Chains A and B, each alone.
Chain A
Amino acid sequence: MTEAQDASRTTSAMLAALTDPQNAAAWELFDERYRPILIGFARNLGFNEDDAAEAAQETVVRFLTEWRAGKYDKTRGRLGAWLVGIMRFRLLDQRRQRATANIGRGESAMVDLDDDASMSVVWERERRESVLRASLEELRRTSRSDPKTVKAFEMLVYHSLAPKVVADELGMSLHDVYLAKSRVAAKLREIVARLELAYNEEPA
């Protein structure tokens, strides 16, 4: 596993490592962790995939520049709030440019984004989903020891197959299928809890 893939690395450790321009792994981890959240965030606000990706790219670059320049202001709150601030500015800027172009076509040049509170809800939802996806990926990587159990879980939860069908397909008892669901859910909770800690956004 590369350093960048180490999803358990805490935000504080990652941010500390980011100050070293030579530390590509820290940068990769940051990018891996936050770019999808930023894109999801913008998509939730109604931006298309391309615009969302562009704003996310500008945001991570801007963030890194500001962080390395020591411009982080603790009074601005958690890392997520800071990123939202940058992202919001980028998205507004993008909309403004589009709107200016629209004036020529006789359309409104008014731009608007939701208020800070609702933005923060959107951010939190995206962050949580990102944690869940990362947890599933970790489950996938670490579940080799008992593949049948995970397979039963997958068939039951993700393919919505009837427990009886899953039991027949995998040659398990119904009891074992439910046991599998319960065990994998427990394992997943454990991973999610660990990653939630790692994703804790209080900068050092």
Chain B
Amino acid sequence: MTTPEVTDLGSGNGCVGIERIESIAAGDIASASEAAHFSICLTCTELLHAVKGDNDFLAEVKGAGPIRRSLVPADAMDDGPVPGYKLLGELHRGGQGVVYRAEQLATRRSCAVKQMLGGGLASGRARRRFEREVELVAKMRHPGVVTLYESGVARDGEPFFAMELVAGERFDTYVRMSMLTTRQLIELFRNVVDAVAYAHRRGVIHRDLKPGNVLVDTDGNPRVLDFGLARPMENSVVGLLEGFGGAGGETMAGEFLGTFAYAAPEQLRGDPDLIDSRIDIYALGVMLYESLCGSKPFVSAANVADLLLQRLDTKPKRPSELRAGIDRDLDVITLKLLDPNPDRRYGTADELRDELDRYLEGKPILAREDSVVYVAMKTMRRYRVASSAAGLILAIIVGASIALSVAYARTEEALGKSEKSLSSLKNSMTRVDPELGRGSSQLDVNDFLALVTEQVNEELGDDPELLAGILVTLGLVHLGFDDAAGAKDAIERAHQIRSDGYARGDVTQEQMAEVEFALARLRFNLGDFAASERAYQAALALYEAALGPNALATVETMRQLASAQRAQQKFTEARCSLKEAFDRSASLEASQEAAIAKAAILNGMAALGRAEGDIAATLPLYREALAALGPYVDADDFRIGRTLYSIALMQEVLDDRASAAENAMEAHRILFLRKGPDAKSTKDAAALLERLRPFLLKSE
């Protein structure tokens, strides 16, 4: 049916106005003159019928149910630059776009609108991908992710997207202003990582993580912006390079500096095949580094090529070198994030978040999990073992476990055994972890070691060779804690196992030497110096045969032999042993171990001088020991502290109390730092310092 339009109306004289026709069509009675007009005007009559027909039709349409949403899209009625939004002012202008505070017209809610700039989505393919990604991002619901409302095309043809408006500070500004402790910073950062992990699980890569894209809201919760939307071109690198003014990257536009600073090497290299979620991991690494240290890991470069070289070739300084209070674990985590090889970074943000959780809970981090010593250290920390004591036993475990693994690794088939022994030790440590296993944080260190020993016995009972190796290590650790009783069973059992094996020819001379050495130390600690001397003699013979007269282990055994001889007042024998050890040490290759061994021999010679009453002769020896250690250990290494204590003690006897006081003070400082307030050596140093304090004041 053809319906006349209302434009056809009113052209003739005396025609009824459209308002009246609508009224009459709706039921009003026509006046006499109107009725007369309808009778002569075909146009008005047809129109009246048409309007009536429309009304009936529209009543039917309306009867089909209410409309759920307006027939006119919200954006269609608005003629502002961004359809559907009233822009209320600029919030931020960056290289890729402008962010406005805005009001969504349809809902009247406040929001932020980001309009992309500069023909960023030139091709249809790029635009489609952008739109797909917007769909993905719009479905993300996470407290750490800023919600995206919708996207569209602005009047100028550039894409825009509308998102939740977050009142807060940029991540870096917040960190700077809040004076966070390292722990608080890691807790905050962990929540950023959690949001990124959520997105990664949904297949969304951020691509432009940087402090400006993370806002910390007024409740202190980080919110990540612009997920997956930052890619300006087909491949982000191409876009970035073009932002430089050419693929050669000769000049660097200021706006892109921010992005480049957080770009992974594979992003800079421009190979799209290499770009995956690990570019976000890298960017998180730069953010963490910057937050911890106050500076970026790499200085700004003149062009992209230099920037790339820098990323690949330069290893950033450890954060702990730049800021106090950062421990080794944080160094490891941060530098792992910044590894130029993506395969060596954390694979996913989930892994990183879990690692940070472990760090915050004081558990061993996986980045360092292969070290038995490290696991032991973490476990002991949770037992609240003084760090000094932990350091001591760890030094012993390191030596023993390395020796053990080296000994086993000598032959190809024994390699597996070596790994098994190390992993068994680690398992044992883990199983007595107060949270994971049977331990309790109330246990003291000796109980802890007893538990580990018991676990090892259980785990390796069917493999005597491995059991013996671990028992030796543990026995030495017990001795390190002056727990000769705890060491006794472990070392004697190990000695028995190895002796039997040696008789059968299953145990090497070196392994036998090792257990004889441990037995000798045990006997010494138990006060049976004669038995100790015999065991040291046996160990010495075995080491000489296995490793040669000038090996480190041989020289060290000879020095210890002197201690056992000295304890029995056999000063001549002791002096001979020490001299022999000293001479042989001259042929050791320069190394930290060699320096420590040499210093120990010099200390031994000085101790012998003291025992013989030749106090004056001891001082040069102690000083020589200090000089030997100097280049190889930290200035506040506990050995330095102990030697200074000995020097102070001798100076007190020699009446040089001012010097004694100074050395005692330094010794006490080092020992307190390294071994804690409760260690015997620290207490000895404190007592000496107390005696000498008046002279210290005088000297000041």
Which residues of A line the B interface, CB within 8 A?
A: 128-130, 132-133, 135-136, 139-140, 143-144, 147-148, 150-151, 153-154, 157-158, 163, 174-175, 178-179, 181-183, 185-186, 188-189, 192
**Is A153 touching B57 in the complex (CB atoms < 8 A)?**
no
Q: 5 interchain pairs (CB within 8 A)?
A: A133-B64, A182-B5, A182-B54, A185-B3, A186-B3
In the bound assembly, the distance between CA atoms of A182 and B18 in angstroms comes to 11
Which of B66-74, B116-124, B247-255, B295-303 faces chain A? B66-74
Question: Is B541 in the interface zone, CB < 8 Å from A?
Answer: no
Q: Do the beta carbons of B65 and A150 come within 8 Å of each other?
A: no
A179 (CB) vs chain B CBs: closest residue: B6
Chain A residues with Cβ below 8 Å from B50 are 182
Chain A nearest CB from B43 CB (Å) reads 14
When the two chains form the complex, which single residue of B22, B64, B77 contacts A132, counting CB atoms closer than 8 Å?
Answer: B64
Contact at B6–A139, with CB atoms within 8 Å?
Answer: no
> Can you name 17 extra interface pairs (CB under 8 A) apart from A132-B60, A139-B71, A147-B76?
A129-B64, A143-B72, A147-B72, A147-B77, A157-B62, A158-B67, A174-B19, A175-B18, A178-B18, A179-B6, A181-B58, A182-B5, A182-B50, A182-B54, A185-B54, A185-B57, A189-B3
Closest Cβ neighbor of A40 among chain B residues: B65
A56–B61 CA distance with the chains assembled, in angstroms: 24
Are A144 and B54 CB-contacts (below 8 A) given A133-B64, A150-B71, A188-B61?
no
Kindly supply a per-residue 1/0 record for chain B positions 552-578, scoring 1 wherever the CB is within 8 Å of any chain A CB and 0 otherwise: 000000000000000000000000000
Closest to B51 in A: A182
Q: Separation in Å of the B534 CB from the closest CB of chain A?
A: 87
Say whether A189 contacts B70, CB under 8 Å. no
Residue from A135, A150, A153, A192 with most neighbouring chain B CB atoms (10 Å): A150
Q: B73 near A144 (CB under 8 angstroms)?
A: yes
Please give, as numbers and ranges, the residues of chain A lying within 8 Å of B73 by CB-CB distance: 140, 144, 147
- Alpha-carbon distance between A133 and B54 when the two chains are bound, in angstroms: 17
- Which 10 residue pairs across A and B have the least CB separation, nearest first? A147-B76, A132-B64, A129-B64, A185-B54, A151-B72, A140-B71, A147-B72, A178-B6, A154-B71, A178-B18
How far, in whole Å, are A130 and B6 apart by their CA atoms in the complex? 29
Inter-chain CA distance A150–B6, complex, in Å, is 16
The answer to whether the Cβ of B7 comes within 8 Å of any Cβ in the partner chain is yes
Contact of B63 with A by CB under 8 A: yes
The answer to whether A158 touches B64, judged by C-beta atoms less than 8 angstroms apart, is: no
Instruction: Write the B3-30 contact mask toward A (1 if CB under 8 angstroms, else 0).
Output: 1011100000000001100100000000
Picked from B18, B54, B65, B77, the residue with its CB within 8 Å of the CB of A129 is B65
A-B CB pair tally, cutoff 8 Å: 84
A133 — nearest CB in chain B belongs to which residue? B64
How many whole Å from A146's CB to the nearest CB in chain B? 9
Nearest residue (CB) in A for B66 is A158
Which positions 33-53 of chain B face chain A at CB distance < 8 Å? Answer: 50-51
| Complex CA distance for A135 and B62, rounded to whole angstroms | 12
Specify which chain A residues have a CB less than 8 angstroms from the CB of B71 in the assembled complex: 136, 139-140, 143, 150-151, 153-154, 158
Partner of B6, one of A128, A182, A188: A182
Which residues on the A side are within 8 Å of B54 (C-beta)?
A: 181-182, 185
Question: A139-B71, A154-B72, A178-B22 in contact; A132/B3 too (CB < 8 A)?
Answer: no
User: What is the minimal beta-carbon distance from B19 to any residue of chain A, in angstroms?
Assistant: 6
Please measure, in the bound complex, the distance between the C-alpha atom of A166 and the C-alpha atom of B159, giving whole angstroms: 33
8 Å CB contact of B63 from A129, A135, A147, A175: A129
The answer to whether B57 touches A179 (Cβ under 8 A) is: no
Q: Which residue of the partner chain A has the closest CB to B61?
A: A132
Q: Which residues in B have their C-beta under 8 angstroms from that of A185?
A: 3, 54, 57-58
B26 shortest CB reach to chain A, Å: 11
Tell me if A175 and B76 are in contact (CB < 8 A): no
Q: Shortest beta-carbon distance, B56 to chain A, in Å?
A: 10
Q: Is the CB of A163 within 8 A of B72?
A: no
Determine how close the nearest CB of chain A comes to the CB of B54; give it in whole angstroms. Answer: 4
Select from chain A the residue with minimum beta-carbon distance to B70: A154
**Interface hits, B286-342 → A, CB 8 Å:** none
User: How near does chain B come to A111, taking the closest CB pair, in angstroms?
Assistant: 29
Instruction: Please report the C-alpha to C-alpha distance between residue A139 and residue B72 in the assembled complex, in whole angstroms.
Output: 9
B17 CB, min distance to chain A CBs, angstroms:
9
Nearest-neighbour CB distance to chain B for A138, whole angstroms, equals 10
Cα-based distance from A183 to B7 in the complex (angstroms): 10
Most buried by B among A130, A147, A179: A147
Distance in Å: Cβ of B218 to nearest Cβ of chain A: 39
Closest to B19 in A: A174
Contacts of A154 in B (CB 8 A): 67, 70-72
Most chain A Cβ neighbours within 10 Å, of B5, B7, B60, B72 = B72
A189/B67 in contact, CB under 8 A:
no
Q: Provide the residues of chain B in CB contact with A174, threshold 8 Å.
A: 18-19
**Complex Cα distance A55/B61, Å?**
27
Residues of A within 8 A of B65 (CB): 129, 133
Residues on A with C-beta less than 8 A from B77 are 147-148, 151
Q: Which residue of chain B lies nearest to A145 when distances are taken between CB atoms in the complex?
A: B76
A136 with B18, Cβ < 8 A, contacts A154-B70, A182-B6, A182-B54 known? no
**Nearest residue in A to B77 (C-beta to C-beta)?**
A147
**A158 and B57 form a contact (CB under 8 A):** no
The 8 Å CB contact of B19, one of A158, A163, A186, A189, is A163
Report the minimal beta-carbon distance from B213 to chain A, rounded to whole angstroms: 34
Instruction: Give the residues in chain A near B62, CB-CB below 8 Å.
Output: 157-158
What's the least CB distance linking B610 to chain A, in Å? 93
**Residues of A close to B61: CB separation below 8 A:** 132, 135-136, 157, 188, 192
**Selected contact of B72 from candidates A150, A179, A183, A189, CB within 8 Å:** A150
